[in-house]
Amino acid sequence: MVKGSLSPNRFFSPDPGVRILAAEIYRSVEDQPLLCPHGHVDPRLFSEADGSFGSPADLFIIPDHYVTRMLYSQGIPLEQLGVPRIDGGEIETDHRKVWRLFCQHFHLFHGTPSGIWLTHELNEVFGIHERPGETNADMLYDTISEKLASPGFTPRQLYQRFKIQVLCTTDAATDTLPAHQAIRNSGWQGRILPTFRPDAVIHVDALDWKEQVEKLSAVSRIIVSDYRSFIHALMQRREFFQSMGAVASDHAVINPVTGEITTGEADGIIKRAFKGTVSADDASRFTAHMLMEMARMSVEDGLVMQIHPGALRNHNTLVFNRFGPDRGADIPLRTEFTNNLMPLLNKYGNDTRLSLIVFTLDESAYARELAVLAGHYPALKLGPPWWFHDSLNGMARYFNQVMETAGIYNTAGFNDDTRAFCSIPARHDVWRRASANWLAGLVARHMIDIKDALEMMDAMAIGLAKRAYRL
Amino acid sequence: MVKGSLSPNRFFSPDPGVRILAAEIYRSVEDQPLLCPHGHVDPRLFSEADGSFGSPADLFIIPDHYVTRMLYSQGIPLEQLGVPRIDGGEIETDHRKVWRLFCQHFHLFHGTPSGIWLTHELNEVFGIHERPGETNADMLYDTISEKLASPGFTPRQLYQRFKIQVLCTTDAATDTLPAHQAIRNSGWQGRILPTFRPDAVIHVDALDWKEQVEKLSAVSRIIVSDYRSFIHALMQRREFFQSMGAVASDHAVINPVTGEITTGEADGIIKRAFKGTVSADDASRFTAHMLMEMARMSVEDGLVMQIHPGALRNHNTLVFNRFGPDRGADIPLRTEFTNNLMPLLNKYGNDTRLSLIVFTLDESAYARELAVLAGHYPALKLGPPWWFHDSLNGMARYFNQVMETAGIYNTAGFNDDTRAFCSIPARHDVWRRASANWLAGLVARHMIDIKDALEMMDAMAIGLAKRAYRL
Amino acid sequence: MVKGSLSPNRFFSPDPGVRILAAEIYRSVEDQPLLCPHGHVDPRLFSEADGSFGSPADLFIIPDHYVTRMLYSQGIPLEQLGVPRIDGGEIETDHRKVWRLFCQHFHLFHGTPSGIWLTHELNEVFGIHERPGETNADMLYDTISEKLASPGFTPRQLYQRFKIQVLCTTDAATDTLPAHQAIRNSGWQGRILPTFRPDAVIHVDALDWKEQVEKLSAVSRIIVSDYRSFIHALMQRREFFQSMGAVASDHAVINPVTGEITTGEADGIIKRAFKGTVSADDASRFTAHMLMEMARMSVEDGLVMQIHPGALRNHNTLVFNRFGPDRGADIPLRTEFTNNLMPLLNKYGNDTRLSLIVFTLDESAYARELAVLAGHYPALKLGPPWWFHDSLNGMARYFNQVMETAGIYNTAGFNDDTRAFCSIPARHDVWRRASANWLAGLVARHMIDIKDALEMMDAMAIGLAKRAYRL
């Protein structure tokens, strides 16, 4: 990768002693490959050899809700950013205009992770060493467009250039994984693996639940009519996902409540769901029960189980109605783990066949609950700082609040968790630099020595993720 | 302003590289004027040209609950500090004795914001470069008394000397603003603006609600007898406040619950309030509804809307019964924003005619809820670190936890929020130094360059407050 | 104490200016004696002149749930660590094998407080200057065994060598304190004082409550048959504990709810408890009431009152059933103080005869609730960072979030709170270093001067604990 004008010591402590140590530690993993065990990149990018990222606005702005929500918060309509309206309303279709708007407002990203990632991508991926602004917007648009049209800039080429070893996507339980199949069929060597995310069929109070379950019946060839057939269909899907290379399942819940109900109760809920008479309490108890079931299945089939709780989705109804989900209006909630995870951890947490990775958007639970739980239960690992906390300060807070109690070996290394493929190297680079800087601080304060730090750095860059995700 | 023996680089990082940068950034705004868009200074101080601050104890101790609560916590009775008893009980009236007690215990303020502000005031306002203690208490008392009696030390003179551009007070909806009127009539050029705070008439379960509403009828000349007339009276008061220069309303609530009820329901609650049969649930729903109404009116009349939630007032009944409100026994509560603000943000949060500034005493909501909400909704800005968090560490935590997600442009700059007029320059100085130091850290870690930092510093010192408060 | 190869400046800031100041401040208290006003050391260690710690595994591993839970979290069965099973199941009895397993996994403790304490103990207590590992495990085992068998390594000898001035244990209300009596009778000069912890008789819904109350009747010689006799028996026990030197009581509760019920209600609950028909609500209200009663008694008899809330005990049923309590499966919960403590603080918090020390495992309450409460109520002091927060980062967070608002003089200094006697000097050393480093930061940023820092350091090392615990 061509090195740009980025400072080689960026993000390290200003203290010269720590900085030198951090640089030494970072250099030891700087060129290591990338493991991407959880994220949201579209697998279709890789299904053909000559895949394309589209225009600079397609690549950097329109699909990236980190970018569009910041511009929106400052009063720029999403329509002007070219974000597609699901209601067919008019939007800006001239991507050059969208790009200009973005460049004009680039100062909004000062001091933010998006600012860091975008700068990294421009420098390291596109060799652009100047900051976007009003005056150079057109020139940058042309430069990037030209590169994107050149043969070295297909998704597959960048996958290799980024040294990605494995990239896990996130896929509905009802997905037949045609893109993953196409990749396999193509003979290309990149490892793009699906992840089993059955939320849509588990949340029995969702408006489209019946439709989703019909899909589930169709793809599993098991007619789902009661709880028993529902479970069988899910087991069939897990088996299918594993046959396609999946190593993990993933579960998004508002609250990580876990707890079993009887088969009779579960059956009653499924039946009420079919009739459309399911209650909110039914839905909560069913989700709590299904987390138990998913853990049970993981013990049996070995899929790593991920829980991503605490995001209230689509908080902004106007934005949701116009633009659909994932448009920046997902807002975190306070999240309780000690009581909520107790049933699951009591039943499966002592079993080392289970690898359970829990994430949080509520940092107040790091030191109070999660580090303590992860520092006790053999099955539990704590996922890396997630979403809004996937940032330099978010990582520093995580190291500060988690590591003393959990130890690094009860964490799951790093996930980039992105839809923006080109930001992957930037995100891993931030993690590696933040980790190196944290370790350098431990060395400088005589808590560990440099040999320990290098071992720990290696684990944090690669080893912990490999182990937690059984890659 | 005479510069005292305060270190010119105080509060900056000990790291020499960061310190030099911080000093450079700070110097760029050091002499900028002060905007004070939210606070509790008594406007009567300014209504006459020769206003006076009273004795050194009147200025520094008796009215300052930050000071008296710390002394009280160490077992010093408030009576000995000259704090007036509302029940007529005896108190110390010799202000020299009160001053001595304060000086004897000055060590209690080591490492506290009050210690920093008091030291700043002594040095920069009174030219006193020694620390208060038992031995110099009398000498300091004499020196300060003498200065306070001299012509340069009237509130108006200090307003000019402090370079204050605008000072917003906090005033009841029923206030006829005679002091503000007197200031206007006097022809003095200082801008002392009222802020519309209708809490007393909105909290329908308050003991004196009927009395307050009678006042509201009287001052608005609209007989409040039902919900409709209540709303009309409030609109009349907002119009009056705006005619007196008000730019904002302010709302103190225990929880920032928002949500509309029907006019019929609101009418029922008002009627029960008149009969004295209102329930706690009535009061909650009415407050939630009135926050919606206030937002609606702000969209129409352009008053900036502030919400200050989460303080449980008058926790200590003994202190409250003897000394009345605002005596240091207000204790924060955990505060939820994501669900609570949803109705208001859904209805008005996408409308850029609204400028809504939300504060918190619950820092756990910074990164989890508030930064994310402010980083999405165009109408919402996050207020500066408030009350107990208006401190060097409080600011550092705010920068750390808020800025990466919200970006600085979704924040509202600084408020001093003080009753202690002479502490205003000290408070702004701490904010400017803390901001400069934070920005210097970003520069030193190569996240922004010095040009960005200077622009951001200017915004944080002046620009953001000016924009958020539409000054 | 022989100085080992530990860095003399360990744990201080890497910044050279701060480090030099921190070292100067630390040196001023480095050799001060240790006050240990709260902990869980077994008093029987000291009841005979030639007491023994057993094997290296007995000393360092088997009873230390900080060590065993970390090894367990990484899949090592507690049986292999020699932890006794209460169900009589087989365990490893060869302590050399247990030691080897520990040494093999020593890297798990990198960056953790246990790692710091263990390293300190090896270096400073045993003169071992190499890190445990697979290759030196046997050699270390032999060296430590030999030392433990030598005359200088009895608990009493180490008590003197550690310069402990007073060591408070934690004892059930029904304990007749035979070990404490034996210590007194032996004429040994060490001060080992009991602490009154009546949890077992106060939690009326505990399975063994009747049994505990029968014990209480037996030891107090007051037949407990109703609320009145229950209270009398507790008063008798407090008197007995005081006659044995106790200075404090201690109360572990899930939530620090306080609030009085009538004597009639209390009597009804006691009677239902005897019949085994007590409800969860009865138990909560009774505990809330008894905290009030304990405060009332403290006002009268002068015992310092400690509250340790927020730990959900024995979260892991499998571990609890096999190994009993205190095996690392106690997990913190979110904890509310503002509302919960209001009744107690309103009734007794203004009374300086009470010294109430409150701890928390929920750091989100530090700045929001506890620092504010401690900075107001004369009776209240905030205890040091507890349990999982008794760590370098935990202390730094405490200083950061508590001290600006509470001031150091509303805190209770340091507690080691350990079962591991040999870790006591290490724990105090970490606190003193962390405190010195924090104070050095204040000096370096010109918030206090070095003279203030030395005074504050003295208070933090000794004075605050002495005052809060009335030692």
Instruction: Look at residue C324 and tell me if it is in a domain.
Output: yes
Nearest to C14 among A15, A345, A400 (CB): A15
Instruction: Look at residue A6 and tell me if it is in a domain.
Output: no
Instruction: Look at residue A11 and tell me if it is in a domain.
Output: no
In whole angstroms, what is the distance from residue A255 CA to residue A360 CA? 10
CA angle C342, C344, C345 (to 5 degrees): 65
A170, with CB counted inside 10 A (0-12, 13-18, 19+), is: buried
Taking an 8 Å cut-off on Cβ atoms, the answer to whether B334 and C336 are in contact is yes
Give residue-wise pLDDT tens across range B160-198: 999 999 999 999 999 999 999 999 999 999 999 999 999
The confidence band for B292, taking pLDDT boundaries of 50, 70 and 90, is: very high
Do A39 and A72 fall within a single domain? no
Residues 6+ apart with CB under 8 A from B102: B57, B60, B61, B67, B71, B81, B132, B137
Chain B hits for C410, CB-CB cut-off 8 Å, are 73-74
Domain boundary residue, one of C153, C184, C199? C153
In whole angstroms, what is the distance from residue B346 CA to residue B335 CA? 19
Do A362 and A316 fall within a single domain? yes
Taking an 8 Å cut-off on Cβ atoms, the answer to whether C405 and B74 are in contact is no
Taking an 8 Å cut-off on Cβ atoms, the answer to whether C112 and A404 are in contact is yes
Taking an 8 Å cut-off on Cβ atoms, the answer to whether A376 and C329 are in contact is yes
In whole angstroms, what is the distance from residue C107 CA to residue C115 CA? 9
In whole angstroms, what is the distance from residue B334 CA to residue C338 CA? 9
Record the tokens describing residue B408, joined without a space: 């600085």
Do A141 and A161 fall within a single domain? no
Nearest to A73 among B18, B378, B456 (CB): B378
Instruction: Look at residue A382 and tell me if it is in a domain.
Output: yes
Residue-wise DSSP of B307-357: EEE-EETT--HHHHHHH-SSSS--EE-----TTTTHHHHHHHTT-TT--EE
Instruction: Look at residue C142 and tell me if it is in a domain.
Output: yes
3-state secondary structure of B249: strand
C386 in contact with B, Cβ within 8 Å = no
Do A219 and A75 fall within a single domain? no
**Pairing of β C304-309 and β C248-253:** parallel
User: Phi-psi region for residue B6, left (φ > 0), alpha (ψ -120 to 50) or beta?
Assistant: beta
Whichever domain contains C174, its CATH number is: 3.20.20.140
Residue-wise DSSP of B147-161: HHHSGGGSHHHHHHH
Residue A242 distance to chain C (closest CA, Å) = 25
Q: Which of C343, C345, C339, C338 is nearest to C367 (CA)?
A: C338
Determine the residue type at A195.
Answer: T
Whichever domain contains B111, its CATH number is: 1.10.2020.10
Chain A hits for B408, CB-CB cut-off 8 Å, are 110-111
Give residue-wise pLDDT tens across range B346-388: 999 999 999 999 999 999 999 999 999 999 999 999 999 999 9
Can you give the pLDDT at residue C5? 80
Nearest residue on chain A to C433, alpha-carbon basis = A445
- Please report the residues numbered 78 through 107 in chain C whose beta carbons come closer than 8 angstroms to any beta carbon of chain A: 107
B114, with CB counted inside 10 A (0-12, 13-18, 19+), is: buried
What is the mean pLDDT, run by run of 10 residues, along chain C of 471 residues? 71 97 98 98 96 96 96 98 96 98 98 98 96 97 97 96 98 98 96 98 96 98 98 98 98 98 98 96 98 98 98 97 95 98 98 98 98 98 98 98 98 97 98 98 97 98 98 95
In whole angstroms, what is the distance from residue B25 CA to residue B19 CA? 10
Can you give the pLDDT at residue A350? 98
Taking an 8 Å cut-off on Cβ atoms, the answer to whether A331 and B456 are in contact is no
Which residue matches tokens 């993953």? Answer: A180
**What's the mean per-residue pLDDT of chain C?**
97
In whole angstroms, what is the distance from residue A454 CA to residue A436 CA? 9
DSSP character at residue A447: S
Residue C387 distance to chain A (closest CA, Å) = 10
Instruction: Look at residue C114 and tell me if it is in a domain.
Output: yes
Instruction: Look at residue B330 and tell me if it is in a domain.
Output: yes
Determine the residue type at B108.
Answer: L
A contact test, residue of B15, B445, B470 with most A CBs within 10 A: B445
Domain boundary residue, one of B137, B153, B169? B153
User: Phi-psi region for residue C210, left (φ > 0), alpha (ψ -120 to 50) or beta?
Assistant: alpha
In whole angstroms, what is the distance from residue A423 CA to residue A115 CA? 11
Residue B311 distance to chain C (closest CA, Å) = 10
Taking an 8 Å cut-off on Cβ atoms, the answer to whether A14 and B441 are in contact is yes
Do B239 and B91 fall within a single domain? no
**Are the beta carbons of C238 and C297 closer than 8 angstroms?**
yes
- Please report the residues numbered 12 through 71 in chain C whose beta carbons come closer than 8 angstroms to any beta carbon of chain B: 13, 15, 17-18
**Are the beta carbons of B102 and B56 closer than 8 angstroms?**
no
The pair phi, psi for residue A331, each rounded to 5°, is -120, 130
Do C435 and C423 fall within a single domain? yes
**Are the beta carbons of C422 and C413 closer than 8 angstroms?**
no
How many domains is chain B built from?
2
Instruction: Look at residue A181 and tell me if it is in a domain.
Output: yes
Taking an 8 Å cut-off on Cβ atoms, the answer to whether C371 and B362 are in contact is no
Q: How many CA atoms lie within 13 A of A229 on its CB side?
A: 14
> Which DSSP helix (H) or strand (E) runs through A188?
none
In whole angstroms, what is the distance from residue C420 CA to residue C440 CA? 30
Domain boundary residue, one of B153, B172, B187? B153
Residues 6+ apart with CB under 8 A from B150: none
Do B201 and B130 fall within a single domain? no
In whole angstroms, what is the distance from residue C206 CA to residue C217 CA? 17
Helices (H) and strands (E) in chain C, counts: 21, 11
Residues of chain A with pLDDT under 70: 1-4
Residue-wise DSSP of A356-423: EEE--S-THHIIIIIHHHHTT-TTEEEPPP-GGG-SHHHHHHHHHHHHHHH-GGGB-------S-GGG
Nearest residue on chain C to A449, alpha-carbon basis = C110
Residue A448 distance to chain B (closest CA, Å) = 23
Taking an 8 Å cut-off on Cβ atoms, the answer to whether C405 and B392 are in contact is no
Do C252 and C393 fall within a single domain? yes
**Are the beta carbons of C101 and C68 closer than 8 angstroms?**
no
C433 in contact with A, Cβ within 8 Å = no
Say if pTM beats, i.e. exceeds, 0.90: yes
Can you give the pLDDT at residue B2? 35
**Pairing of β A331-332 and β A311-312:** antiparallel
Chain A hits for C13, CB-CB cut-off 8 Å, are 445
Residue B398 distance to chain A (closest CA, Å) = 11
Chain B hits for A64, CB-CB cut-off 8 Å, are none
Can you give the pLDDT at residue A5? 80
B389 in contact with C, Cβ within 8 Å = yes
Can you give the pLDDT at residue B289? 98
Do C341 and C293 fall within a single domain? yes
C312 in contact with A, Cβ within 8 Å = yes
CA angle A51, A53, A57 (to 5 degrees): 165
**Pairing of β C311-312 and β C304-309:** unpaired
3-state secondary structure of A250: strand
Nearest residue on chain A to C65, alpha-carbon basis = A376
Neighbour subunits, A (≥3 Cβ pairs < 8 A)? B, C
The pair phi, psi for residue B346, each rounded to 5°, is -65, -35
Nearest to C388 among A380, A405, A456 (CB): A405
Determine the residue type at C179.
Answer: A
Can you give the pLDDT at residue B193? 98
Residue-wise DSSP of C355-390: -EEE--S-THHIIIIIHHHHTT-TTEEEPPP-GGG-
In whole angstroms, what is the distance from residue C42 CA to residue C421 CA? 9
A331 in contact with B, Cβ within 8 Å = yes
Nearest to B369 among A6, A11, A332 (CB): A332
Do B360 and B270 fall within a single domain? yes
Nearest to A111 among B336, B442, B444 (CB): B442
B409 in contact with A, Cβ within 8 Å = yes
> Which DSSP helix (H) or strand (E) runs through B200?
helix B199-202
Radius of gyration of chain A (CA): 23
User: Phi-psi region for residue B11, left (φ > 0), alpha (ψ -120 to 50) or beta?
Assistant: left
In whole angstroms, what is the distance from residue C128 CA to residue B439 CA? 46
Do A59 and A208 fall within a single domain? no
Chain C hits for A338, CB-CB cut-off 8 Å, are 312, 315, 331-333
B400 in contact with A, Cβ within 8 Å = yes
Neighbour subunits, B (≥3 Cβ pairs < 8 A)? A, C
Global ipTM: 0.97
Interchain CB contacts (distance < 8 Å): A and B: 130
Range of the domain at C82: 53-153
**Are the beta carbons of C203 and C287 closer than 8 angstroms?**
yes
Taking an 8 Å cut-off on Cβ atoms, the answer to whether A69 and B378 are in contact is no
Chain A hits for C73, CB-CB cut-off 8 Å, are 374-378, 380, 406-407, 410
Q: Which of B347, B429, B446 is nearest to B120 (CA)?
A: B429
Q: How many CA atoms lie within 13 A of C130 on its CB side?
A: 13
C316 in contact with A, Cβ within 8 Å = yes
Can you give the pLDDT at residue B3? 38
Can you give the pLDDT at residue C3? 39
Nearest residue on chain A to B21, alpha-carbon basis = A14
**Are the beta carbons of B208 and B199 closer than 8 angstroms?**
no
Give residue-wise pLDDT tens across range B82-111: 999 999 999 999 999 999 999 999 999 999
CA atoms B97, B103, B108, B114: torsion sign: positive
Do A29 and A60 fall within a single domain? no
